[in-house]
Amino acid sequence: MEFILQNFFNWEIVTQAWPLLLRGFGMTLILMAAVIPVGCMGGLAVALLGQSRYRAVRWLTIIYVDFFRAFPPLVLLIFIFAGLPFAGIDLPAIVSVCLAFLLNTSAYYGEVFRAGIESVGSGQSQAARSTGLNGFQTKLYVVLPQAIRNVLPDLVSNTLEVAKLTSLASVVALPELLYSADMARSVTFNATPIVMAAVLYLALLWPLVRLLSRIEHRSMSSR
Amino acid sequence: MNSEITQWDRFLASFFDLQIMRKYLPDIIDGFLLTCHLAIFIVISGLALGLLLAVIRAYEFWLTSWLIAVFADVMRALPPLVFILLLYFGLPGVGLNLSGYAATYVTLTLVLAAFSEEIFRAGILATPKGQWEAARSTGLSFGQSLAYVIMPQAIRMTVPPLTNRTIAIAKNTALGTVVGVGEILNQATTGQSFSGNASPLVLGAMAYLILFIPVVIFGRWVETRFAWRRA
């Protein structure tokens, strides 16, 4: 027992690593605040392009979505981070991370929004158009609000995944929570900092998991 | 001589150097096979464990239900990479050495078990109560009703979300690269740093496309097929 406390819950190391981890936690929050809205907007754009009246545009969106869903996010991130310098493009870590996240999460959000838009009956669009709204207004005021309500569980679930994905940024040396924790671990030769990071992630994301469970059960039962 | 090298030539030399590609192809194939069997082991054991937990939870004994609920929440809230590092670097401190492969396998299996338990459970809860009552009144026991009446219906309902989740977790095998598992990503980045050339990365990207494009298309097919059935 003493042994386990020493290795995973070492109070002395907690006090030492705390400032570093707190800074990392701040970076993680900033990262989430950047990549979640960007991914959402990108996904919305992808979904709307997928509804285009031109077949070529629709096909290109499907190819885009499947292409970027086929890559594990870490692979995308490392390839952008390690590969682009060979093309003479040197991006700072944070830009690589944002770019990789935009490509990956917009594909996933795009699929969620697409399912939502397709779940709204075409009568809704026709009715909206016949009241004199233009195509854009129809999408914005009539189709999207219903679409988002219909896919809310998937939307929340995807957002949770994106929030967890920010931990991948540690691999390209962006000093977010997991990177700071791993740094502290390698200095102290003790796993306590990683336990601390886990606790911080739990504190941040557990409420989202609970929320998700509730709306998921509601939506599956109402089918 | 130098001035004749165009931008395009330089691009080809950095990303599509055939000689380098040929040299690292065997490594990438090794990584490809490793990714495949790691993913298959994870999918089989994760889904089996998830199903087992969902069945145990259906008996609604308070202690097991509570433990399973906490387990599912924690594994769904934690980024998998955090858990991998915790196992890989933490356990040796208490005298238990896990290889990178084992740490990745255990983590992703538990994550898939947590997600699939929740999905199976949602399916069980969504099966109308009358099905339970009818099954029990024909004389089936609780376990028999669950096995022969409820689960077949529940599993049908859970196929699309389960497929998507399983694919996502199979792709997470790439996380193993952080703890030195020689899967595709690891082989590709190793090749890149040894050769000082991006061609091994391109090769790795192709390996991922070959592996996962069919899987993604299969997921799409499952989704439309089951959506059609529901309507």
Whole-number pLDDT of residue A222: 61
pLDDT, average across residues A89-93: 87
Q: Do A72 and B209 touch (CB under 8 A)?
A: no
Long-range CB contacts (< 8 A, 24+ apart) of B6-10?
Answer: none
Residues of B in Cβ contact (< 8 Å) with A3: 94
The C-alpha atoms of residue A135 and residue A129 are separated, in whole angstroms, by: 7
Q: Which residue of B has its CA nearest to A214?
A: B122
Task: Choose among B189, B202, B209: nearest Cβ to A78.
Answer: B189
Task: Choose among B14, B126, B175: nearest Cβ to A86.
Answer: B14
pLDDT, average across residues A81-86: 88
Residues of B in Cβ contact (< 8 Å) with A181: 82, 85
The C-alpha atoms of residue A167 and residue A185 are separated, in whole angstroms, by: 16
Q: Do A70 and B177 touch (CB under 8 A)?
A: no
Closest of B89, B180, B175, B96 to residue A183, by C-alpha: B89
Whole-number pLDDT of residue B83: 95
Whole-number pLDDT of residue B230: 44
Long-range CB contacts (< 8 A, 24+ apart) of B140-149?
Answer: B142/B59, B146/B55, B146/B58
- The DSSP element (H or E) to which A76 belongs, if any, is helix A73-83
pLDDT, average across residues B178-185: 93
CA-based torsion, B18, B23, B29, B34: positive or negative? negative
pTM of the model: 0.89
With contact defined as beta carbons under 8 Å apart, do B142 and B151 qualify? no
pLDDT at A176 over 60: yes
Q: Which of A86, A171, A182 to mutate to test the interface with B (most CBs of B within 10 A)?
A: A86
Place of tokens 């399912």: A115
Whole-number pLDDT of residue B2: 53
pLDDT at A220 over 80: no
Residues of A in Cβ contact (< 8 Å) with B172: 72, 74
Task: Choose among A7, A205, A208: nearest Cβ to B93.
Answer: A7
Q: pLDDT grade, residue A7 (50/70/90)?
A: confident
The C-alpha atoms of residue B113 and residue B116 are separated, in whole angstroms, by: 5
Q: pLDDT grade, residue B94 (50/70/90)?
A: confident
| Ranges assigned E (strand) in B80-216 | none
Predicted confidence (pLDDT) per residue in A197-210, tens digit? 999 999 999 999 99
pLDDT at B28 over 90: yes
Tell me the DSSP string of A6-59.
HHH--HHHHHHHHHHHHHHHHHHHHHHHHHHHHHHHHHHHHHHHTT-SSHHHHH
Closest of A176, A167, A161 to residue A208, by C-alpha: A161
Whole-number pLDDT of residue B227: 60
Predicted confidence (pLDDT) per residue in B98-118, tens digit? 999 999 999 999 999 999 999
* ipTM reported for the complex, 2 dp: 0.89
Residue B191: how many other CB atoms lie within 10 Å: 24
Tokens of A5: 């406390």
pLDDT at A180 over 50: yes
Q: Which of A3, A8, A9, A74 to mutate to test the interface with B (most CBs of B within 10 A)?
A: A74
Q: Which alpha helices (H) appear in A120-191, and where do they start and end?
A: 122-130, 135-137, 144-150, 152-165, 177-188
